[in-house]
């Protein structure tokens, strides 16, 4: 998502690095979480869409109707430095508006807002707030307006990771066809961003592969079998969701596990 204000001159932006540590393992670049979630990091924030939030639906994380899925308007599209190819989808952040000396628009005395990462703010070849290495949050308009007026357009913020507190259990949406199953786990509490999923039908546990965003896939035929899931979030928390999907499941259905992290 690219808002008009995301394209403001980079001269008003602070150049900041990634909120995640990058390391090399087996020849591949791997993201690891910052150990200290309590530390505030510098970034900037804009907004996209209107007050209805309709333009924030769907998106690069694979979520759909954010109202039905429990995320509402408390969401943001992240820049490359934070999105990290979708690995951060589902993570929760706390943001507070901080006035720059020459750009003072923050409402005084406003409590920090909390959002979930549900979309990607792509870089712009012409230059913009979401270009690497910028750390940037493109918020829904209602969330931005909690911190600053519309005319501000862009504000300096500080952010930190926080625990996701969700209502109800982790939900599993199943799409695909008999030869290819795509599963979207959402409404995930705790760290919020899922780093591994395994599925079990009537046989052994099957390792699923990330397709895009938070969609996970397998080519193993599982139609007509009750399904269980193992889910691991980025902080290493592990949950087994046993027989959450009955044997008569159909593509396009969503199932509530009634348990969460």
> Would you state the torsion angle of the CA atoms of residues 111, 171, 86, 68, taken in this order, to the nearest 10 degrees?
-60
pLDDT band at 30 (very low <50, low <70, confident <90, very high): very low
DSSP state letter for 19: S
Q: What is the pLDDT of residue 77?
A: 98
DSSP, collapsed to helix, strand or coil, labels residue 3 as: coil
pLDDT band at 236 (very low <50, low <70, confident <90, very high): very high
Mean pLDDT of the residues in the chain: 88
pLDDT at 177 over 90: yes
Separation CA 260–CA 239 (nearest Å): 8
Q: Mean pLDDT throughout 160-177?
A: 97
pLDDT at 19 over 80: no
In the chain the beta strands, taken as DSSP E runs, fall at 21-25, 28-32, 41-48, 75-78, 92-97, 113-120, 136-140, 155-162, 171-177, 180-186, 194-200, 205-207, 209-212, 215-218, 227-233, 238-245, 254-256
What are 155-167's pLDDT values in tens digits? 999 999 999 999 9
Q: What is the pLDDT of residue 36?
A: 57
- Residue 77 structure tokens: 């599209």
Range name among 10-24, 143-157, 201-215 with the lowest pLDDT average: 10-24
CB 56 within 8 A of CB 49: yes
Q: Which residue has the tokens 């690219």?
A: 2
Range name among 13-17, 66-70, 99-103 with the lowest pLDDT average: 13-17
Q: What is the pLDDT of residue 15?
A: 30
Separation CA 259–CA 49 (nearest Å): 33
Reduced DSSP (H G I as helix, E B as strand, rest coil) percent helix, strand, coil of the chain, to 5: 10, 40, 50
């Amino acid at each position: 998502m690219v808002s008009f204000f995301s394209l403001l001159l980079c001269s008003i932006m602070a150049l900041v690095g990634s909120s995640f540590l990058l390391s090399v393992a087996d020849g591949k670049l791997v993201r690891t979480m910052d150990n200290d979630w309590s530390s505030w990091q510098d970034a900037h924030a804009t907004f996209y869409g209107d007050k209805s939030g309709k333009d924030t639906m769907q998106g690069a994380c694979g979520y759909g109707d954010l109202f039905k899925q429990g995320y509402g308007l408390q969401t943001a599209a992240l820049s490359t430095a934070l999105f990290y190819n979708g690995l951060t989808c589902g993570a929760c952040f706390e943001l507070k508006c901080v006035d720059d000396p020459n750009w003072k628009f923050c409402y005084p005395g406003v409590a920090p807002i909390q959002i979930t990462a549900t979309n990607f703010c792509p870089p712009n070849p012409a230059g913009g707030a979401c270009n690497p290495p910028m750390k940037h949050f493109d918020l829904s308009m209602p969330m931005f307006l909690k911190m600053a007026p519309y005319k501000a357009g862009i504000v300096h913020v500080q952010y930190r990771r926080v625990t996701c507190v969700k209502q109800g259990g982790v939900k599993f949406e199943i799409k695909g066809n008999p030869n290819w199953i795509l599963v979207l786990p959402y409404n995930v509490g705790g760290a919020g961003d899922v780093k591994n999923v395994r599925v079990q039908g009537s046989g052994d546990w099957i390792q699923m592969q990330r397709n895009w965003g938070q969609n996970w896939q397998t080519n193993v035929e599982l139609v007509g079998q009750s399904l269980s899931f193992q889910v691991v979030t980025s902080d290493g928390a592990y949950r087994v969701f046993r027989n959450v999907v009955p044997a008569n499941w159909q593509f396009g259905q969503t199932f509530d596990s009634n348990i969460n992290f």
